[in-house]
């Protein structure tokens, strides 16, 4: 039987405690130790049971406790102080970044399928979500006018538990949003604001939840309402759950529904940022709205949309990018294509690498690439991998010219630095370390932290993670029904005084969690060494459908359970933000073993280095850039080689890893002087803080997006929308003319005076004749394309120099001249190319049009 009515009962806070609600309802608490300390002081045990959720915590406090606090002058003074800090933070309007403001509207809408903001908001699975959460936090700290859009998952990602033999199982708890720091958005009549969508003739309604993230608002769409049939209520049930149809429903809701939600809320951001291809349908909906609301043609609306869209790709393997078969797309987008004035086949072409291949599935990443003029990978290496991976979208271009750039990821330092370390920063770096953590000058002061203080703080954190691991392991064993003796033995695992290495991440096979097991005898000798002992803490989840990843996990867990090493190896179940926090703060070494080049970036190591934890990793993702800055701070597994034979690669790199641990990492840790301090280890810790922390921060990352994408995209929006969208219409008309006439254009008769010996810095004159087929010279740019060549005659590198029109010839022909000046000796080559050019065209490569000299 169900109740006739349901309602929520909340505690009656005395007037003097009302500020507790303000602190609890803003996720600012997640990166402010004073706030969490205030709540935990009230009832430490209840705070721990509340998983750091201040809303649930307040809702479970006895009324008597609240009345007592209201009479506690010391507590009230502390509450006033913390609330004053929040007020100052929220009221500050200035920003260190030059970014235009217009009224109170957000300028950027950030779309992501998941957000890792806090342990008490379980709407994330791993790195992609944590990155999105850190992006919002840094946007808040930097006062960027940005709003977030996502989905509210009733069951979130799965919770993990292991069987006795180490096999991963999943459970899906139902979360109560009213017990979380989120609030249902209502209109003036206190009715929920709803978004209406159409799924192949099925009406779908979504309500909107708001999460306050410092100064930033995050809006989450939720279909779990009585207005929807049961199967549609499941759309926002689980993150990454269900089949292909469920995935397309979720991505329609995020992209199309997200744009509709912003419109329903009266928000009109000029720029959208698509974090991975999941939200690419947002580009289509923006086109439709520009056509419907502003009377633009499809071509003009597409140019305006692409010129004001940012797309970040995260997945370096084709299989990791969402694709849908044509029949599934037709079911949900046949009518949508007609609303855009397109044949369905033309819409499909927008999501195909080869638009003419009718057998190719529709790819969300390709759609996002085509509907954005600001595309980027998330590390320098990943940018190169992405240009190679998506070269078919721009088939005429060399890899170097594919319009996918790089913005290396970063982490929100204040969210991940341990309180003990943060206190040292306050003392020796000054107050700027948190508000401006990308300031190199501030972080140079890390050298002034006394060795003894830094090491004692780190040792406390190691003791903390060991205690936490013992507690978690004990809980795991009890839940598994283990014998009493096993539970007792869990209290003795690990040693808070010895070298502790952490490995925690998604258990995808390419991350090679079992690389240490390649030579078990050698690994055992390392673990059981009585003079220089070492221990490992592992954690991670495998996707529910990834049985190979689960087998990797099972092998590792079963090895951890062997009696001779069970005190030196621990696997912590249910990897989440809490487990990650303890590990990145308390381990001595962070181990990362992806098979290059399959790690797009990998941000867990960035969180570790911000706590002075040293890094050991293959040269993949962000570690390539860090290692280039200073190769003597952490350790690299190999020299960045890429192998055709993955089994051979695993063998070679496992041996390198063993050698690194045995001959460098372990000896450096145990090399102690008379003061019993590992001076060389501490020197490396300080160097980590000085060099890497100001670079691999989400503040620097967001600043890069502002400078390289948000600001220029905003300016494009202003330019293209002037005079009733006249520039957008003109750009679309120009593009259509270019596309129509382009094939007949030619670059011929390239001539150069090449002496027998050409010296460095000696210029070489080059000329070329160009046929424009009725186009104006202002419509194109002609460039010398030159650089070193390899043995097979292809370019190893390239530079471009723009040529100048010197002589109009007859019948649409023109002569261009230019100079190429070699800046280094060697075997060089050159050619000439022609690209479209327009003052409103952001990147001449974006149209995919090019002619090479014949």
pLDDT at 140: 95
Of all residues in the chain, the percent with pLDDT exceeding 70 is: 98
Q: Which of 209-213, 470-474, 534-538, 819-823 has the lowest mean pLDDT?
A: 819-823
pLDDT at 2: 67
Residue 108 Cα to chain centre, angstroms: 17
* DSSP SS3 for 680: helix
Instruction: Give the confidence band of 670 by pLDDT, cuts at 50, 70, 90.
Output: very high
Phi, then psi, of 591 in degrees rounded to 5? -100, 135
Instruction: Give the confidence band of 93 by pLDDT, cuts at 50, 70, 90.
Output: confident
pLDDT at 792: 80
Mean pLDDT of 236-259: 96
Enumerate the β-bridge partners of residue 473.
none
369-389 pLDDT, tens digit each: 999 999 999 999 999 999 999
* DSSP SS3 for 828: strand
pLDDT at 254: 98
pLDDT at 102 over 60: no
- Rounded to whole angstroms, how far apart are CA atoms 49 and 773? 73
DSSP state letters, 300-354: HHHHHHHHTEEEE----SGGGS-EE-HHHHHHHHHHHHHHTT--HHHHHHTT-SS
Cβ count within 10 A of residue 258:
30
Q: 430 or 755: which carries more pLDDT confidence?
A: 430
- Rounded to whole angstroms, how far apart are CA atoms 714 and 5? 48
- Max Cα-Cα span within the chain: 95
56 to 49, 122, 177, 181, 186: CA distances (angstroms):
10, 14, 10, 9, 22
585-612 pLDDT, tens digit each: 999 999 999 999 999 999 999 999 999 9
Cβ count within 10 A of residue 214:
22
Q: Which residues contact 153 (CB under 8 A, 6 or more apart)?
A: 122, 123, 175, 236, 237, 238, 239
pLDDT at 434 over 90: no
Q: Which residues contact 612 (CB under 8 A, 6 or more apart)?
A: 421, 454, 458, 685, 686, 688, 689
Query: Token pair of 282, please?
Result: 């947002």
Mean pLDDT of 126-144: 95
Relative orientation angle of helices 722-741 and 711-720, to the nearest 10 degrees: 100
- Please say whether the beta carbons of 210 and 183 come within 8 A: yes
44 to 97, 465, 478: CA distances (angstroms):
40, 18, 23
Query: Token pair of 448, please?
Result: 């002034």
DSSP 762: -
Mean pLDDT of 16-38: 95
Query: Token pair of 27, please?
Result: 């996720």
- Please say whether the beta carbons of 808 and 762 come within 8 A: no
* DSSP SS3 for 503: strand
Bond into 130 cis (ω within 30): no
Task: Tell me which long-range contacts 675-678 makes (C-beta under 8 A, separation of at least 24).
Answer: 675/452, 677/451, 677/452, 677/455, 678/455
Pairing, β 202-213 against β 194-199: antiparallel
797-830 pLDDT, tens digit each: 888 999 999 989 989 999 999 998 888 888 888 9
Does pTM surpass 0.85?
yes
DSSP 396: T
Q: 843 or 593: which carries more pLDDT confidence?
A: 593
Of 373, 458, 390, 385, nearest in space to 424 by CA: 458
447-462 pLDDT, tens digit each: 999 999 999 999 999 9
Q: Which residues contact 535 (CB under 8 A, 6 or more apart)?
A: 494, 495, 498, 499, 500, 501, 527, 567, 568, 569, 570
- Please say whether the beta carbons of 555 and 509 come within 8 A: no
pLDDT at 95 over 80: no
Enumerate the β-bridge partners of residue 747.
770
Burial 471-497 (b: 16+ CB within 10 A, else e): ebbbebbeeeebeeeebebbeebbebe
């Amino acid at each position: 039987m169900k109740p006739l009515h349901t309602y929520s009962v909340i505690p009656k806070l005395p007037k003097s405690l009302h500020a507790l609600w303000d602190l609890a309802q803003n996720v600012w608490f997640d990166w402010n130790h004073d706030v969490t300390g205030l709540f935990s002081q009230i009832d430490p045990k209840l705070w721990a049971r509340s998983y750091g959720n201040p809303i649930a915590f307040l809702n479970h406090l006895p009324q008597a406790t609240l009345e007592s606090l209201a009479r506690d002058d010391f507590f009230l003074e502390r509450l006033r102080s913390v609330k004053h800090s929040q007020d100052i933070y929220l009221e500050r309007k200035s920003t260190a970044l030059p970014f235009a403001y217009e009224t109170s509207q957000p300028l950027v809408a950030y779309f992501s399928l998941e957000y890792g903001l806090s342990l008490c908001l379980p709407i994330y699975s791993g790195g992609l979500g944590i990155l999105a959460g850190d992006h919002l936090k840094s946007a808040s700290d930097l006062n960027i006018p940005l709003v977030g859009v996502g989905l509210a998952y009733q069951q979130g990602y799965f919770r993990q538990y292991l069987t006795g033999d180490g096999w991963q199982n999943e459970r899906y708890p139902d979360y109560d949003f009213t017990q979380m720091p989120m609030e249902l958005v209502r209109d003036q009549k206190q009715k929920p604001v709803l978004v209406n969508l159409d799924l192949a003739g099925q009406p779908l309604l979504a309500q909107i939840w708001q999460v306050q993230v410092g100064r930033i608002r995050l809006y989450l769409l939720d279909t779990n309402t009585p207005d929807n049939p049961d199967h549609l209520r499941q759309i926002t049930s689980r993150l990454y759950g269900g089949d292909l149809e469920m995935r397309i429903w979720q991505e329609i809701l995020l992209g199309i529904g997200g744009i509709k939600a912003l419109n329903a809320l009266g928000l009109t951001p000029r720029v959208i940022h698509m974090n991975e291809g999941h939200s690419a349908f947002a580009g289509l909906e923006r086109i439709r709205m520009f056509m419907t609301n502003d009377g633009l043609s499809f071509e003009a609306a597409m140019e305006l949309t692409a010129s004001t869209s940012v797309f970040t790709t995260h997945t370096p393997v084709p299989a990791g990018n969402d694709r849908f078969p044509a029949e599934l797309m037709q079911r949900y987008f046949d009518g949508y294509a007609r609303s855009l004035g397109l044949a369905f086949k033309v819409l499909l072409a927008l999501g195909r690498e080869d638009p003419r291949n009718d057998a190719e599935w529709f790819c969300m990443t390709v759609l996002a690439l085509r509907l954005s003029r600001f595309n980027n990978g998330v590390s320098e290496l990943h940018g190169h991998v992405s240009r190679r991976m998506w070269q078919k979208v721009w088939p005429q271009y060399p890899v170097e010219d594919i319009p996918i750039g790089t913005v290396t990821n970063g982490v929100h330092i204040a969210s991940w630095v341990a309180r003990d370390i943060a206190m040292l920063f306050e003392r020796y770096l000054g107050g700027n370390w948190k508000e401006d953590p990308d300031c190199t000058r501030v972080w140079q002061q890390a050298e002034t932290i006394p060795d003894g203080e830094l090491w004692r703080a780190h040792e406390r954190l190691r003791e903390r993670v060991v205690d936490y691991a013992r507690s978690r392991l004990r809980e795991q064993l009890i839940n598994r029904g283990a014998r009493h003796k096993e539970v007792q033995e869990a209290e003795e695992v690990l040693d808070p005084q010895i070298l502790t290495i952490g490995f925690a991440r998604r258990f995808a096979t390419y991350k090679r969690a079992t690389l240490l097991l390649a030579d078990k005898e050698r690994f055992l000798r390392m673990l059981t060494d009585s003079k220089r002992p070492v221990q490992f803490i592992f954690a991670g989840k495998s996707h529910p459908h990834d049985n190979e990843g689960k087998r990797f996990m099972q092998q590792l867990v079963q090895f951890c359970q062997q009696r001779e090493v069970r005190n030196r190896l621990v696997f912590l179940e249910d990897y989440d933000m809490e487990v990650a926090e303890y590990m990145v703060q308390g381990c001595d070494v962070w181990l990362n073993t992806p098979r290059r080049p399959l790690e797009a970036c990998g941000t867990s190591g960035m969180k570790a280095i911000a706590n002075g934890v040293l890094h050991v990793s293959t040269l993949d993702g962000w570690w390539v850039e860090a290692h280039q800055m200073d190769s003597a701070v952490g350790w690299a597994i190999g020299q960045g080689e890429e192998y055709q034979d993955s089994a051979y690669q695993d063998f070679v790199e496992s041996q390198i890893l063993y050698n690194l641990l045995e001959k460098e990492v372990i000896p450096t840790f145990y090399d102690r002087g008379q003061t019993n301090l590992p001076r060389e280890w501490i020197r490396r810790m300080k160097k980590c803080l000085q060099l890497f922390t100001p670079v691999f921060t989400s503040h620097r990352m967001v600043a890069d997006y502002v400078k390289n994408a948000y600001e220029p995209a905003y300016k494009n929006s202003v330019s293209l929308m002037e005079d009733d969208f006249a520039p957008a219409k003109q750009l679309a008309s120009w593009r259509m003319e270019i596309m129509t006439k382009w094939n007949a254009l030619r670059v011929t008769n390239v001539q150069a005076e090449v002496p027998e010996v050409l010296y460095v810095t000696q210029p070489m004159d080059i000329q070329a004749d160009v046929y424009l087929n009725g186009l104006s010279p202002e419509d194109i740019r002609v460039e010398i394309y030159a650089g070193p060549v390899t043995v097979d005659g292809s370019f190893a590198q390239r530079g471009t120099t723009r040529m100048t029109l010197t002589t109009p010839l007859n019948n649409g022909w023109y002569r261009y001249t230019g100079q190429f000046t070699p800046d280094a000796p060697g075997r060089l080559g050159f050619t000439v190319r022609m690209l479209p050019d327009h003052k409103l065209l952001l990147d001449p490569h974006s149209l995919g049009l090019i002619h090479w000299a014949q």
